[in-house]
């Protein structure tokens, strides 16, 4: 993987790296928004915090799944 000398190989690896970075960025943005709205809702209604926490975790896991789709694709580019 580190021994490729052709420009195309190098560009593919660079693309994979940038893709994984963008996926991480998008996941961070999305889960940040979920986290912020969850914390705000808990501040409004502390008694419902259990349900809100559960909903937050589910939404975060779903978004993370999508981001990891991107990471898996980038891994496939980089390693194959």
Partner 1 sequence: MATKINKLLLLILLSVLSIAGFASSDAHTVQEEDLDQESVFNPGEMIMHHIADSHEWHFFSTASFHGTLPLPIIVYSKGKGLSVFSSSNLTHHGVYDGYKIHHEKIFAVDAAGNEDASIKVYDFSITKNVASLIISAILLVLVFTAVAKGYVKNKGKAPSGVQSFFEPIVAYVRDEIAVKMIGPKYERFMPYLLTIFFFIWFNNMLGLMPGGANLTGNIAVTLMLAITTFVITTINGNGYYWKHVLWTPGVPLPLRIIIMPIEIIGMITKPFSLMIRLFANITAGHIIILSFIGLIFLFKSIYIAPLSVGFGLFMTFLELFVALIQAFVFTLLTAMYFGSAVEEHAGTDHDHGH
Q: Is 35 in the site for partner 1 (CB under 8 A)?
A: no
CB of 14 to partner 1, least distance (A): 16
Q: Is 22 in the site for partner 1 (CB under 8 A)?
A: no
Among 11, 14, 39, 72, binds partner 1 (CB under 8 A): 72
Question: Which distant-in-sequence residues (6+ apart) come within 8 Å of 33 by Cβ?
Answer: none
The pair of three-digit structure tokens given for residue 70, joined into one six-digit string = 């991107």
Smallest CA-to-CA distance from 75 within 22, 5, 17 is with 17
Residues that bind partner 1 (CB under 8 A): 1-2, 54, 57-58, 61-62, 64-65, 68-69, 71-72, 79
């Amino acid at each position: 993987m580190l021994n490729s000398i052709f420009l195309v190989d190098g560009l593919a690896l660079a693309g994979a790296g940038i893709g994984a970075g963008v996926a991480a960025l998008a996941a961070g943005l999305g889960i940040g928004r979920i986290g912020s709205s969850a914390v705000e809702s808990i501040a409004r209604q502390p008694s419902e915090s259990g349900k809100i926490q559960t909903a937050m975790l589910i939404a975060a896991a779903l978004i993370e799944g999508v981001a990891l789709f991107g990471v898996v694709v980038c891994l496939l580019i980089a390693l194959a």
